[in-house]
């Protein structure tokens, strides 16, 4: 995943795209999402923390309403196309492996799922799980958004150091 993030960063930066937009674009990509983009910004691009955080959160949230609203229709369409018809099922099975805390704690579980930056978690998978569980759009969007904000703070502490972040709030 590091190689993907580095390659994308290099390609986008060399194309003259501003760093904040590079971070936002990387935040939109499944698997990399906010977690990867903050590390890229803090380590490779040496961006200021607040600019990184805002770009990563905004970028990560852009696809979420569309996932919550349209993923069933997109998956339905994909199931009809030879060669990719099994992809939606694979995505759903992969997401359901992480569904325990959402099933147990509902919207708070969804928030935690997105907020704690572990492999396989994040806004994309959390949104898919919200749809699979038939959760309310607005409440799911809020839970995912709060999770993204929290994950952004956690990843910023990793990329920029906790002492650097504490100094910003003092």
- Position 169 pLDDT exceeds 80: no
Considering the entire predicted model, what is its pTM? 0.88
**pLDDT band at 119; cut points 50, 70, 90:** confident
What's the distance, Cα to Cα, between the start and end of the chain in Å?
34
54 backbone dihedrals φ, ψ, rounded to 5°: -65, -45
48 or 161: whose pLDDT is higher? 48
Domain boundaries, the chain: 2-61, 64-152
Tokens of 15: 């194309």
**pLDDT band at 2; cut points 50, 70, 90:** confident
């Amino acid at each position: 995943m590091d190689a993907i993030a580095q390659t994308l960063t290099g390609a986008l930066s060399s194309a003259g795209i501003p760093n904040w937009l590079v971070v936002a674009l990387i935040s939109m990509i499944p698997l990399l999402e906010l977690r990867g983009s903050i590390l890229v910004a803090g380590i490779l691009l040496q961006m200021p923390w607040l600019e990184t955080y805002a770009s990563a959160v905004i970028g990560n949230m852009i696809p979420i309403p569309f996932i919550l609203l349209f993923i069933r229709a997109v998956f339905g369409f994909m199931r009809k196309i030879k060669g990719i018809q099994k992809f939606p099922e694979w995505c759903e099975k992969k997401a359901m492996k992480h569904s325990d805390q959402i099933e147990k704690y509902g919207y708070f579980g969804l928030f935690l799922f997105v907020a704690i930056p572990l492999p396989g978690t994040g806004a994309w998978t959390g949104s898919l799980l919200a749809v699979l569980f038939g959760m309310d759009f607005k409440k799911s969007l809020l839970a995912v958004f709060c999770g993204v904000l929290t994950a952004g703070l956690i990843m910023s502490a990793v990329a920029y150091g906790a002492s650097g972040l504490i100094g910003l709030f003092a």
